[in-house]
Every structure is written in C-alpha cells, then in structure tokens.
Amino acid sequence: MKSALITGITGQDGAYLAQLLLNKGYEVYGVIARRSTDTLWRLNYLGIKEQVNLIEGDMSDLSSLIRAVQISNASEVYNLAAQSFVGTSWEQPILTANVTGVGVVNLLEAIRLTDPTIRYYQASTSEMFGLVQEPIQSETTPFYPRSPYGVAKLYGHWITVNYRESFNMHTSSGILFNHESPLRGIEFVTRKVTDAAARIKLGVQDKLHLGNIDAKRDWGFAGDYVEAMWLMLQQDQGDDYVVATGKTTTVRDMCEIAFKHVGLNYIDHIVIDPQFYRPAEVDLLLGNPTKAMKQLNWEPKTNLEQLITMMVDADMKRVKGEVQILAEVQ
C-alpha cells in the first residue's frame, strides 16, 4: 500500500486531500502541530479522523519533520502547512517567513536526508503574482508579491524549483488561485461572507464589516483543487502548474450571490470598514489553467455560484445547530 504524508492536514486543503488519498487506497499520515485546543474539526466533519495517522511536528522543527518522513515511509509528501492568511502576515511577518518560507526547505531537507526519491508537492499561490504583471497569469508570468505571505511563498516556490534542478528530485509547485469550501477558515472573505449571510438571515447578526470589496479573485472549490495536487505527483517529472478557473469576480459580486441565495440584498447589510484594508492590496487575480488542463487532464468542476451556495447552505445548517462545523465560530 502506498503511503503519503501531508503537512497541514488539519487545514482546509489537508482535510480534502486526506479524503481523496484515502479513497484512492493510500495509507495517510499527517503532521499535526501542538496547539492548546482541538484542531481536528475538519477531519471530523469529513468523517476521516480515525482513518489518518497523526504525527506531532512543526514546520520550524527540522528534527520533527525528519521523524515524520521516516515514520510515515511515504512515497509522496504534500506540503500544505503554512501561516496562510495574508492579513496576519503583516502582524507576524517573521513567523510567516519561518513557517511559510523556511519551513519548505526544512521539509525538503528532511526528504533529501531520508530518501531523495520521495515525490514532493509544494502549495504555492497566486499571491506570488501580487501586483500582476500580466492581465491573465500563467506559469510564465513574472512574480511581484505584495505581502509578507506572498514573499515567503515565493521563497518556498523557488526552493522547490531549485531542489528539482540541483538534486534531480521529483518536486512540483502548484500555483493555486484562491479556493474555498465550507471548511475554509472564517477569516477569509468568502467564508466570512457566507457565515454572515446565514447569521443575518437567522437573526443572530446585523451587519457585515468588510474592507476592499472591489478586489477581484479567481475562486474555485478546494475539493476540485486537491485532485490537481495528486495528479502533479503522478507525472513522470516534477513541474509547476497554475490551478485556477479562468474567471474572476469582485468581492462585491460574490457577496451578492451569497445574500441573494437566502433572499437578502447585500447592500442592506454591508459596512465598509477601513480596519480590513490591507497595507498593500492585490487588486486582481485571474489564472490561466491551460497547462494543468492539457498536461494533467484536470478541470475545475464547480463554478462560483455553486461554490458560494454550497457554503451558505453549510453555514445555515451550522448556525441552526443541525451540524457541527468549526465549533469555535459562534
């Protein structure tokens, strides 16, 4: 049986990827960082908590990563762990550099020292394009990150390329555009909006405070995107791929979809609040997924309307108390 190791298994993508790999018959191991509260709610929600093997570790602790690679005996390692929230990266830039940037080379070294034939996936991001240098971004578009998060991810991206070129390792970098789901962290704008639409509809919240609602993002469904990660590691060679839908939408129009789904007009409920503006903004992201579609035979299956209504429906159920997702959000 094939084994895979996932860092960030308790995050949105980690949970969906673990589910995908279990369905494909893998033995799944995950690195779990020590926290004072339970972080297993996503694995619980998908009903797979008992099926994965958890190994304590942290991206900033090389010895723990070596141990995780060895214990798991993995032939594929997926590095999804990160301080992943752009807003927080201005508040904790050094932690972001250490975990999201240097953490990548820690894991690559753990693999190289243990078994350099292990295949490696790096969770790169469209945030590396930042102040976009081309109206539609592909694998050849120059990078221009706009946040400490984007800068840290750019290091992770290039060190992944460098280990491929230096040591002939099978390393791949997925340049994923924003992807969301009912398991998305509540601080990200889609989930903040779908949660608020549900709570306002059910009378437990009044207003929704947002920042720059003119920003445009290319949003897809996390469940579709983890399939692309797996496909990259099934290729003969490691490579870099943009994973996106090829459509971009404003935060404003995304709000309209969410509120309309529960019979509300978003204009009546949104308050523009400068506290959510960013020191430097990424105004527009729009990806060209042609390479992934051609070489990986991958395609996004869920459009924005389906994604946002799925998230609102899940949040309605949670706010009504019919299902437990993210217990700490009240």
Which residue shows structure tokens 């299902």?
323
Interface with ligand NDP, residue 240, by CB under 6 A: no
The 10 Å Cβ neighbour count of residue 310 is 18
Annotation says 127 is catalytic: yes
Pick one of ligand NDP, ligand GDP, none as the site partner of residue 312 (Cβ within 5 to 8 A by kind). none
| 280 versus 323: smaller Cβ distance to ligand GDP | 280
Closest CA to 244 of 310, 300, 308: 300
Annotation says 117 is catalytic: no
Interacting positions 101-130 with ligand NDP (CB under 6 A): 123, 125
Pick one of ligand NDP, ligand GDP, none as the site partner of residue 14 (Cβ within 5 to 8 A by kind). ligand NDP
Which residue shows structure tokens 């971009």?
248
- Tally DSSP H helices, then E strands, for the chain: 12, 13
Taking each helix axis from N to C terminus, what angle separates 103-114 and 62-72, rounded to the nearest 10 degrees?
40
Interface with ligand NDP, residue 83, by CB under 6 A: yes
249-250 vs 216-217, strand pairing mode: antiparallel
35/147 Cα distance (integer angstroms): 26
**Closest approach of ligand NDP to the CB of residue 41, in Å:** 9
**Closest approach of ligand NDP to the CB of residue 95, in Å:** 8
How far from chain centre, in Å, is Cα 119? Answer: 20
Where along the sequence are the contacts to ligand GDP (CB under 6 A)?
86-87, 127, 178, 187-189, 192, 210-213, 215, 217, 251, 276, 278, 281-282
Q: Which of 10, 114, 125, 245 is catalytic?
A: 125
Judge whether 157 and 238 are in contact, CB under 8 Å. no
Annotation says 149 is catalytic: yes
Pick one of ligand GDP, ligand NDP, none as the site partner of residue 210 (Cβ within 5 to 8 A by kind). ligand GDP
Which residue shows structure tokens 């459009």?
303
Interface with ligand NDP, residue 60, by CB under 6 A: yes
Exactly one of 3, 20, 22, 39 binds ligand NDP (CB under 6 A); which one? 39
